């Protein structure tokens, strides 16, 4: 989504002289995209599509030429989206100190496109 915001701000800088882009104007665009109604704009969600439509409406109001699908500002593309169904677990077994359990999103952050596995191996530092 950062790329979309950057793209919107970049496009705003090429608008007509009477519609100059200022820091405060750019901030209002970011504020709009951060509204609770967009719920973070996670890829593949209805809220992300609503945000994309809002960005499209801005592009149209600036008089930009649509270059997306079907003479629109949007372009469809396939994307793999994964969803974490349950909490990830990370536990290290230590002969001297006993097992050490790590907390998800506190001690480690799982990569969303990772698979599941159990692994037994010696940890070397």
pLDDT digits (tens, 9 = 90+) for 71-103: 999 998 888 777 777 788 888 887 678 888 999
- pLDDT at position 94, please? 76
Q: Is 121 exposed, middle or buried (0-12, 13-18, 19+ CB in 10 A)?
A: exposed
**CA neighbours within 13 Å on the CB side: how many for 34?**
8
Quickly count: other Cβ atoms within 10 Å of residue 43's Cβ: 9
Residues 6+ apart with CB under 8 A from 92: 99, 100, 102, 123
> What is the distance between the alpha carbons of residues 20 and 12, in angstroms, rounded to a whole number?
8
pLDDT at 17: 47
Q: In the chain, which residues have pLDDT < 70? A: 1-20, 95, 112-115
Rg (CA), the chain: 22
Distances (CA, A) of 48 to 16, 30, 41, 70, 106: 28, 14, 4, 20, 27
Quote the pLDDT of residue 14.
Answer: 59
């Amino acid at each position: 989504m950062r790329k979309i915001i950057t793209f919107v701000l970049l496009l705003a800088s090429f608008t007509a002289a009477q519609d100059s882009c200022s820091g405060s104007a750019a901030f209002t665009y970011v504020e709009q995209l951060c509204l609770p109604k967009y719920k973070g704009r996670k890829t593949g969600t209805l809220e992300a599509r609503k945000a994309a439509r809002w960005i499209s409406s801005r592009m149209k109001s600036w008089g930009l030429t649509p270059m997306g699908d079907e003479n629109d500002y949007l372009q469809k593309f396939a994307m793999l989206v994964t969803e974490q169904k349950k909490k990830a677990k990370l536990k290290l077994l230590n002969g001297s100190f006993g097992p050490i359990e790590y907390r998800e999103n506190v001690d480690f952050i799982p990569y969303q496109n990772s698979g599941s596995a159990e692994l037994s191996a010696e940890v070397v530092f």
